[in-house]
Amino acid sequence: MKKSYYLLSLLLLIAVTTMSCKEQKTTEAVDLSYDPELRLQELNIILPSPPKPVANYVNGVRAGNLIFLAGKGPKSADGTELIGKLGIDVTIEEGYAGARLTAINQLAVLKTMLGDLKRVKRIVKVLGMVNSAPNFVEQPKVINGFSDLMVEVFGDRGRHARAAVGMASLPRGQAVEIELVVEVYED
């Protein structure tokens, strides 16, 4: 009798725990008051078609609730890019604008992958690479162009861990390249 009582208690505990876990997953629904796409409209930002990969890779890979976005640069919708080295022929202000443009390109990739930017739960990690002259040390000021836009669009969900590093060169001479990791709500 004691064995069956303990077995029944154990089964009941498992059932309650399983229901609790399922409830937690369903309560993690998308917050309908949170609308980053409306915020983009307020900022007069129209997302372009995502830039196509320039080599043998994809724009992004989803692993569970994380999306890893490949590095993108400051490429305009007309195909022109901000090229050059910070500290030689590109100013901090131009680099900042290039990082902001890169953020717009990454948002376009996310929109394509997710269908709706409301599915973004958090911007987790940003790696900002700056094509820098050897003595240039203001990489964080440049990558702020990216980070500032993420916070403008996503609010506190846009605050992220970050590295802003100098590089001797970047593909096609682009001034910045930025990759990021994003957490999304479950499907």
Tell me the DSSP string of 122-177: EEEEEEEEEEB-TT---HHHHHHHHHHHHHHHHGGGG--EEEEEEES--GGGBSEE
Residue 48, exposed/middle/buried by CB under 10 A (0-12, 13-18, 19+)? Answer: middle
pLDDT tens digits, 3-60: 554 444 444 444 444 444 444 444 455 566 789 999 999 999 999 999 888 899 999 9
The SS3 assignment for 68 reads strand
**In sequence order, what are the residues at sequence separation of 6 or more whose Cβ sits closer than 8 angstroms to the Cβ of residue 122?**
154, 157, 160, 182, 183
Looking at the chain, the whole-number percentage of residues with pLDDT higher than 90 is: 78
pLDDT score recorded for residue 102: 98
Q: Are 93 and 144 in contact (CB under 8 A)?
A: no
**Chain segment 113-131, per-residue pLDDT in tens:** 999 999 999 999 999 999 9
Whose CA is closest to 179, among 125, 139, 101, 118?
125
